Every structure is written in C-alpha cells, then in structure tokens.
Structure 1
Amino acid sequence: MRSAYRIDAESGRLTRLNGRSSEGDGPCHVSVDATGRYAFVANYQGATVAAYPLADDGRLGEAADVVAHEGSGPDPERQAAPHPHAIAPGPENRFCYVPDLGTDRIEIYRPDESSALRPTEAEPVTARPGAGPRHIAFHPTEPYCYVVEELESTVSAYKRDPRTGGLVSIDRTSTLPAAFDGDNESADVHVHPSGRWVYVSNRGHDSVGVFAVDAATGRLESVDHEPTRGETPRDIALAPDGSVLLACNQHGDSVVSFAIDGAGRLEFVAALDVPKPVCATFLESA
C-alpha cells in the first residue's frame, strides 16, 4: 500500500488523503516527478515498479502502469530474484532510473503523457556482477550520476546522455576506508547541491563517506568518513541549501545532524532520539 498525505503548512501535521496498492510486495522507495503530476514506486520483494497519476489535490489515482522485472544475480541469498530498490526521475524529467539490486542492472524508462513506463532507446546498464545497485543520485549541473552498490560497498560514477537517458561507466570507488575489513552494506547516496561532493552511508562501518567530485571527469576522490554516532545509517538527507546532512541510524534509534563545512566535511551538531528511523527528507516552504 502507498498513501498520499496533506501537510499542514503551519503545524507540519499530516492528513491522509487516500491510498492505493503499491502493485507489489515490499514497497521501499517512492518519488514524484518534477511537474508534481506523477508518482512512482519500487517494490523490492514484488520485483515491480509502478506509476500513478496525481490529482490536483495530491490524491493518488489508480496505477497507470506496472512493470515486472526479470532476472537474477550471482549472490544466491540476495539476488535469486529481481529487487528494484529505487525509482528516480532524472534531471530533465524525461527518464526514470531503477537500480535493481537483484539483477545488477539499472533499468531506464521514459514515462509518457499517461505516466506509462515505456522502454527507451538506451540499453539498461549492467553493474559489476554481485555489486547490488541500490540508489542513484544526479549531479545538479553536469551529466553525471552516482549509484551506490550495497553488496560490494562501492559507488559507481556514470556519464549520462540527456538525449537518450543512457549511462556510460566512468569509475568505481569503495565507500569504505582502506583499513576497514568488517562487514558492511552501503545504503544511500546524495550529491551536494553545489555538485562538489557526494555522500554515501555505510551500514556496518556506521559512517558517512565524503567524496570530492572531479568536475572535469565526474570521478570521485575519498575525502573523509564521518561516524554517524549510531548503528545502521540506512538513509541520509541533504538540506536544499547544502548546509546540513541528516543520518538516520535505523538500529541506533537516532537521527543525527551534521553541519557541512567549506571542504564538504561533516561536523556533528546534535542527535535526536527517534525509534527505528529509516528515511528523512527536507520540505521547502512555498
């Protein structure tokens, strides 16, 4: 099930508007296109992605399209079936990108006027076998995007063709310090609004990796790894002005805020007790 809510501008309280089936088990990610007319959902267990029209008041319409993924990967425990982990509209709002952890692919769709998820002329991108692509983030001004790969704790850089939506691999970097040899699963990735840095969360190392972006090539260079002061940072969020990063420690029962300095590094500010936080977002006032 997925639901739509109205946000009270003064109090921040939520009022439920309606709900629709997510058209698959284990819905794990939702997004809205730049026009505010369509919403998309990825179903991790159900191996499907779905698209919905949005009414003027924000209510969800019936699913306009449902696409089932097929395939598997080399990890018998985590990749026996497809697992779409996110669905993200691209910067031009012409394409949707779906990292599939189970198939090691990044599927690319082009929503039409009815929000149906049509194939594109660009081929799906195949990640390194066993990498497990999870989330994707786009550079604000350059044709680059970054995909965090959960199973191998890596982040891959791609050059993106704005015309076709296609992706070409640039580089692949570990999300961890070289000396770390424990268990880890990378989770979330975001690009700073300035385009100068990329941030990736590490569950196991329990840190946020900070990477500098080479503006000429799109490649990443490790800058720092900041502890999240809690276990299992499943999600991170950047303030729209790039001044603050939030880390959601799912098994640490806390949301931790960091200030971002002029070099992109994180400075601890405060921790808030929150039971099992798995996602955070910033809302901009109208």
Structure 2
Amino acid sequence: MSPQQIFVGGYDDAIDSFVFDETAGTLIKTHSTLESKPGPSWQHIIPEHRLLLSGCEGPIGGIGYLDSYRFSEDGALTKVDRKECVQGCVSMDMGKNGFLITASYDASGVNTYYIKETGEIVPLQTLLFTLPDGQAGHPDIDPVRQDAAHPHESRIDPTGKFLLIPDLGSDYLRIFEITYGEKGEDSRIKEVEPLVCDTRAGPRHCYFDRTGKFMYLVEELASMVRVYQVEYTGPRGIDFKPIQRISSLGIGKGPADTRVQRLKAAEVAISPDDKHLYISNRYDRSMPDGTDSIAHFLINTDDGTLTFVELTSAGGINPRHIRLSPDGSWICIATQDTNRVAMFKRDLETGTILEEVVAEGQSGQPVCITW
C-alpha cells in the first residue's frame, strides 16, 4: 500500500506532517509549522481542494482563530487565510457547500463560516451560550469544569440537516437546525430545544453509526458512554431515545467523579463496518505498565447496544485523541503527556487492537490526528 499522509496538531503550537508507511513500519515527520499558534487543537481536511483547516485556541481572555492551509503531496503546509473565532476553538465539522461550524470551549461559543475552494474564509455567525438557569453554583455540578457553558465538539448528523454541540459545562447536547443557502455564505444555524444529559455527565464528543440510527455520546466527567436511538420526528425534527449507559472502563463500573479522581473519557471512534467502538480513557493508568487505556466494545448492529470486550494500552499517558485509518486496519493514538503518536494494527474481524506498536513518531503534546 502507498504511504499515507497524517497531520497532528499539538499544544506545543505545531502542526506536524507525518508519512505512515505500513509496509516499512515507519511514521516519519516530514514538515512542521508554527503558524497556527497558540494551541492548534483541531484540524479538518477538505481533500478535494487539498485544504487543511486548523482551529487555534488562542490565549485565555483573548481571541481564537481559524486558519486555512494548502497542503502539498509531501505534507508541506502553505498558509492561505486566517479569521477570528471565539477563544478556545477545540472542534469543527463541515456540512454542504463549504459550510463550517467551530466549537469553542473556553469562551462558550460557536462560529460559522463559508470556506471557499481557494481557502478563503468568510465569517458568518457567532453564537455565545450561558449556563441553564439554576445551574451556577449548584452542589451537584463540577465547580471547576462546569463553571460556564463549554461547547466541546461540532458534529453534523448523517443527513446534514442538524448540528450537535456537546456542552460539557451545561450538561446539554445543544441541537441546531442547519439551513443551506444557494450560496455558501447564505447558510445559517438556528438553535432548537437541547437534549438534557445526566447531571455532571460532562458531554464531550459524539459519533453516529453510518446508518444514522444510533448515536454514541462520551460523557467526560462521568466517564460513561450513552447510547441513543435516533429518530427524525418530534417538534425539533430529530429526537434521541436513550437505550444504554455504560462505563468507559467496561462492565461493573459506575459514573466517575472527576472532583476526586483524574479519570476522564475523551475520544470515540467507530470501525467502518459499524461493529466496533473505541473510547480513549485519560489518566486511568489501568494497564500493567502504568499507561492509560483504550476501551473496546462490540456494537449490536440491530439495537445499537454495546458489549464490553477489553481494555488495551494506549501506549502512553493522556490519550486525548484516537483516529482509525479509512479502511479500519490501523488505529492512531495521540498521548498528549507522552508527546507520542503511535500506530497500532487492528484485527479487522475481531476488532482487537494488537499490543505491539508498529510505528511511532514524536509530536509535542499531540491533541488531534487528521488522516
């Protein structure tokens, strides 16, 4: 197989370009740029235009940025444009006609943009959020992590008609209708009634299966995974029926309390055949060598429920991000505190992550992998 290009953003302010050669078993850094500092914590590729978009968190109390780059065959990045966003950009997703939505954790907001084929960024909307009435100072919430609304992800549903924003601070899954204009710059989002999550769940990231029938929500503060059946009915046009809640550490575990322990569930990934789900656990240190874990679950494709299989090593500490290769044969794990990006082989039939690291590269505090 021909070598594959991977981009990694990190809190050392660099976006690193790697080439993964599975035949040779190598992951080689080819280029690096510091033009998205400080904090290039999320990247998104538009392959047909050879564009890479990067969210820059920016300094606390300041502003954030959305950057666009043109990338070459060997991964070199050439800056095209930069526009402001709400400070703390940690995620983005793209709908139709170049319509992009970013989510900003620190300053409690989202931005929408039109991305031209040239890489020019056209700002559209800025929306800011506050905590639900009565939540501020409530004894049942996490006083540190839930001091304000904290949007943690931008996720568009499989129909492209709805935007989901897990709000860790509010214990909400915020929901928006998307209206696409004939011109990209005419597209807009409109908030509808949110999905209220469990108290101190801390919704972080979500993922749909490829049929669009089920949605999996990672609760960071509780370190749980909530499974929903998706139905396109009701007043807001999309509804979520809860069918299961299971610990990110597997069977027999209850909701965590991050006020007294550091365990935090982070990323979710689903295999291309919709049969396996993976969750990265930060600071559980549950492996014999003291590293953190990746949880593996089987997905019942009929009813969407999860069956815990096993925990395997993340190969380091603080696996903030994981990403499967397009064909599902590899899983790439970024361990932020270990400054490491590692490739593990994945058994396509059983879904098992093989323990031996096939290839690894050094990247400063890596937090996002873009394949």
TM over 0.5: yes
Q: Once the 2 structures are TM-superposed, how far is the Cα of residue 96 of structure 1 from its aligned partner? A: 0.8
Match of 2:301 among 208, 211, 215: 215
Q: Tell which structure's C-alpha radius of gyration is larger.
A: 2
Q: Is the aligned partner of 1:15 residue 2:78?
A: yes
Aligned residues: 276
Q: Give the ranges of 4+ consecutive aligned residues of structure 1 lying more than 3 Å apart after TM superposition.
A: 177-183
Deviation at 1:137, TM superposition (A): 0.7
Answer yes or no: is the 8 Å Cα contact 1:143–1:162 preserved in 2: no
Name the structure 2 match of 1:225: 311
Question: What are structure 1's unaligned runs of at least 5 residues?
Answer: none
Give the letter for the 1:50 counterpart.
Answer: N
Counterpart contact for 1:99–1:107, Cα < 8 Å: yes
Distance 1:100 1:54 in 2: 25
The reply on whether 1:185 has 2:264 as its aligned counterpart is yes
Shift of 1:178: 5.3
SS in 1 for 2:122: coil
Higher RCO (C-alpha 8 Å, min separation 6): 2
Q: 2:90 aligns with which of 15, 28, 33?
A: 28
Selected match of 1:173 from 240, 246, 253: 246
Q: Is the 8 A contact 1:92 1:162 kept in 2?
A: no
Alignment of 1:1-286 (within 5 A): 1-8=65-72, 10-22=73-85, 24-33=86-95, 35=96, 37-62=98-123, 64-71=124-131, 74-112=141-179, 113=181, 114-120=186-192, 123-162=193-232, 164-177=237-250, 183-205=262-284, 206-261=292-347, 262-267=349-354, 268=356, 269-282=358-371
Counterpart of 1:279 in 2: which secondary structure?
strand
Question: Equivalents in 2 of 1:102, 1:258: separation in Å?
Answer: 33
Q: Is the 8 A contact 1:148 1:189 kept in 2?
A: yes
Contact 1:67–1:117 (Cα < 8 Å) also in 2: no
Query: What SS does structure 2 have at the residue aligned with 1:12?
Result: coil
Q: Which amino acid aligns with 1:30?
A: M
Superposition RMSD in Å: 1.7
Q: What is the distance in 2 between the residues matched to 1:142 and 1:29?
A: 21
Q: Give the stretch that moved more between structures: 255-264 or 181-190.
A: 181-190
Amino acid at match of 1:38: F
**Which secondary structure state, in structure 2, belongs to the residue aligned with residue 236 of structure 1?**
strand
The answer to whether the Cα contact below 8 Å between 2:174 and 2:195 also exists between their aligned partners in 1 is: yes
The alignment's TM-score, normalised by the length of structure 2, stands at 0.71
* TM-score scaled by length of structure 1: 0.92
